[in-house]
Amino acid sequence: MSERFDVVVVGSGAGGGVVAGELAQRGREVLLLEAGPHLTAADFVRWEAKAAHDFWWPLRMAMVDGGAGGMVPMFGGRCVGGTTTMNTKVSFRAHDFEFAKWHEASGLLGAGGKPFGTDDLAPHYERVERYLGVRERADWPECVRTLDRGFRELGAELEPVDSYTDHNCMKCGSCLQGCPTNAGKSTMNTYIHEATAVGKLDLRAESPVERVLFSNGDSGLEATGVEYVGADGERQTVEAGAVVVAAGALNTPQILIRSGLPEASGRSPSSEWIGRNLGLHPATFVFGLFDEVQDAHRVYPITSHCMDFMRDEDGGFVLEACTIQDPIGFATSIADEDGPMWGERLVEAVRRYRHWNGILVLANEENNGRVVVGDDGNESFEAHFGEVELERMEKGIDYGKRVMEAAGAKRVAWTGPASTHVQGTCRMGSDPARSVVDEHGESHDAKRLFVGDASLFPKTLSVNPSLTIMALADRLAQRLHDDPNGYLQPQAERVPPRADALSGPPNQFPVTEVIP
């Protein structure tokens, strides 16, 4: 007989970690299945190749226009905590104009049947921010001040970011290799560890889920559990009152397709959207070479940003500073007007590694990509950028170059686009003809099946997405716990009231520095 849980959550990143932790803290029996290993601060060392081997998802490429327009590499974490274990923890709420794009894309409605807006997520943002101890990073090192001079010279403003890092942050610059001090608040060292210690969370790492199981009875199509391969290599099935798929925007649609949801739903209009609408939030580095040592690799990677051009009508791009990749990433991506650097020119550029400073340029885009599962069962990723998107990227890169020059750089270089913010492949909406799941994250086609990660976004945000993913996950956990459809077992024991569910991280610092 297979095991039974209230909720099984697939994937332990920004979305899955929060849903699982929140529900387990409320006394629900939760199984959290994660494809990758369970590594902790003691395992993390500043060695790019090792981190990529141990807990990054193998590099995946989105082919732009079938390859004719190049490729966009896509990065992500494959471990407990998912991509939050290797991200830079910049914390942003989405703006009104971004939620307006969501409503336009999928007819998404919020409370009272009004277009979904900031009020629908505000309490959830607040809860996540308080728990993670989000604080402002005004502790700028000299290399940020150097670029600040460039921005000011051009009449733009560089502001400190908010981030979910505490005061143990020693600005080592190692976030992408996993935080060695636990200053960086991944879902692993917060929601998941706390809930496994005191809640009812059963965490199983190295346990990739292969498919969601369905039944098709009198009440229609329903998710009943999942099938996964355990760390011992054995195939297992578990039953659950609700299944939350939160395997990241590149994996969640694949799981739904491999589970046969499109066929089981009779190829419903909403199932046609699974995997479509992939957003890459294309990001490009602009580098500047200075006479003085910058050491832009030994900083908390992103302490500042310029939001002056964030809206489409203002340019449609955001600049973040300052950061450069570690040496392997830097050497394999740097390019200039002669193309990717090579030979003596590359050697010369890398020899001066400590003198380079970097800006990350993120452009707004229109979600024209797609996740595909071929007839052979293999995954592939498509991308397309229209004229307006290419213009935004170009303008952003051009602006970054001008900042570098204004700040005194003797030389500028850049990279091609990459993606660290994939989103949108199972979008939520109130119109089943334009979305995969409804405004609560529940499938339009199968009851008891929920999506709980970046796949939900109807349109790519202009800002870094993880706080919004976590806020949506917090909202989903609340909905599942309230259980209006009677999916979960009635709770025999008294559970703590919601506000007490999470006690806050151990290193909560002075209240003046925590966003209220």
Q: Which positions touch ligand SF4 (CB under 6 A)? A: 165, 169-175, 179, 181, 183-184, 300
Residue 171 binds which of ligand SF4, ligand FAD, none (CB < 5-8 A, kind-dependent): ligand SF4
Q: Single out the residue of 468, 473, 322 nearest to residue 400, CA to CA.
A: 322
Which partner in ligand SF4, ligand FAD, none is near 169 (CB below 5 to 8 A by kind)? ligand SF4
User: Residue 323 — φ and ψ, nearest 5°?
Assistant: -165, 145
CA distance 165 to 351: 32
Q: Between residues 130 and 171, which has the closer beta carbon with respect to ligand SF4?
A: 171
Task: Please identify, using beta-carbon distances, which residue of 167 and 204 lies nearer to ligand SF4.
Answer: 167
300 contact, one of ligand FAD, ligand SF4, none, CB 5-8 Å limit per kind: ligand SF4
Select from ligand FAD, ligand SF4, none the partner in contact with residue 60, using the beta carbon and a kind-dependent cut-off of 5 to 8 Å.
Answer: none
Tokens found for residue 52: 């990529």
Tokens of 498: 């919601």
Sequence-distant (≥ 6) Cβ neighbours of residue 188 within 8 angstroms: 12, 17, 38, 40, 79, 80, 81, 84, 85
270 binds, among ligand SF4, ligand FAD, none (CB under 5 to 8 A by kind): none
Question: Least Å distance between CB 320 and ligand FAD?
Answer: 8
Q: How far is the CB of 34 from ligand FAD (least distance, A)?
A: 5
Which residue, 153 or 227, has its beta carbon nearer to ligand FAD?
Answer: 227
Residue with smaller CB distance to ligand FAD, 226 or 409: 226
Between 12 and 165, name the residue whose CB sits nearer to ligand SF4. 165
Show Cβ contacts of residue 460 under 8 Å, excluding neighbours closer than 6 positions.
279, 280, 281, 364, 365, 366, 367, 421, 423, 424
Judged by beta carbon, residue 359 or residue 409, the one nearer ligand FAD is 359
Minimum distance between the CB of residue 135 and ligand FAD, rounded to whole angstroms?
14
Cα atoms in the Cβ-side hemisphere of radius 13 Å centred on 345: 12
* Residue 82 binding target from ligand SF4, ligand FAD, none, CB below 5 to 8 Å by type: ligand FAD
Q: Which does 61 bind (CB under 5 to 8 A by kind): ligand SF4, ligand FAD, none?
A: none
For the CB of residue 181, give the shortest distance to ligand SF4 in the complex, in Å: 5
- In 3D, which of 327, 315, 328, 321 has the Cα closest to residue 285? 321
Work out how close the CB of 108 gets to ligand FAD at its nearest, in angstroms, rounded to a whole number: 18
Whichever of 199 and 424 has its CB closer to ligand FAD, that residue is 424
Cα separation of 368 and 279, whole Å? 7
Which run of H or E residues covers position 261? helix 261-264
CB of 49 to ligand SF4, least distance (A): 17
Contact footprint for ligand FAD (CB under 6 A)? 10-16, 33-36, 75-79, 82-84, 86-90, 176, 208-209, 246-249, 251, 255, 420-421, 453-454, 464-467, 469
d(CA 473, CA 468): 8
Residue 174 binds which one of ligand SF4, ligand FAD, none, with CB within 5 to 8 A depending on kind? ligand SF4
**Residue with smaller CB distance to ligand FAD, 10 or 156:** 10
Residue 179 CB, shortest distance to ligand SF4, in Å, is 3
Residue at token pair 């329903």: 222
Of the two residues 250 and 502, which places its CB atom closer to ligand FAD in the complex?
250
CB of 339 to ligand FAD, least distance (A): 25
Least separation, in Å, of the C-beta of 10 and ligand SF4?
A: 27
Q: Helical H runs in 36-177?
A: 48-55, 96-106, 118-132, 142-153
Residue 509 beta carbon to ligand SF4: minimum distance, rounded to whole angstroms = 14
Cis status of the peptide bond prior to 322, with omega within 30 of 0: yes
Distance (Å, whole) CA 182 – CA 168:
7
Give the span between the Cα atoms of 421 and 479, in whole angstroms: 26
Cβ atoms of 295 and 354 within 8 Å: the answer is yes
For helices 466-482 and 118-132, angle between their N-to-C axes, nearest 10 degrees: 100
33-71 burial, b for 16+ CB within 10 Å, e for fewer?
bbbbebbbbebbebebeebbebbbbeebbbbbeeeeeeb
Nearest to 459 by CA among 71, 133, 104: 104
Token duo for residue 496: 């703590």
Alpha carbon distance 324, 32 (integer Å): 34
> CB-wise, 177 or 207, nearer to ligand SF4?
177
The nearest distance, CB 57 to ligand FAD, in angstroms, is 6
Q: What's the closest the beta carbon of residue 300 comes to ligand SF4, in angstroms?
A: 4
From the list ligand SF4, ligand FAD, none, which binds 95 (C-beta under 5 to 8 Å, kind-based)? none
Provide φ and ψ at 243, rounded to 5°: -115, 125
Residue 475 touches which of ligand FAD, ligand SF4, none (Cβ within 5-8 Å per kind) = none
| Closer to ligand SF4 by Cβ: residue 190 or 252 | 190
Please, are residues 451 and 252 in contact by the beta-carbon 8 Å criterion? yes
Q: Which is nearer to ligand FAD, 209 or 319 (CB)?
A: 209
Out of ligand FAD, ligand SF4, none, which partner does residue 469 contact, by CB within 5 to 8 A per kind?
ligand FAD
Task: Determine how β-strand 3-10 pairs with β-strand 235-245.
Answer: parallel
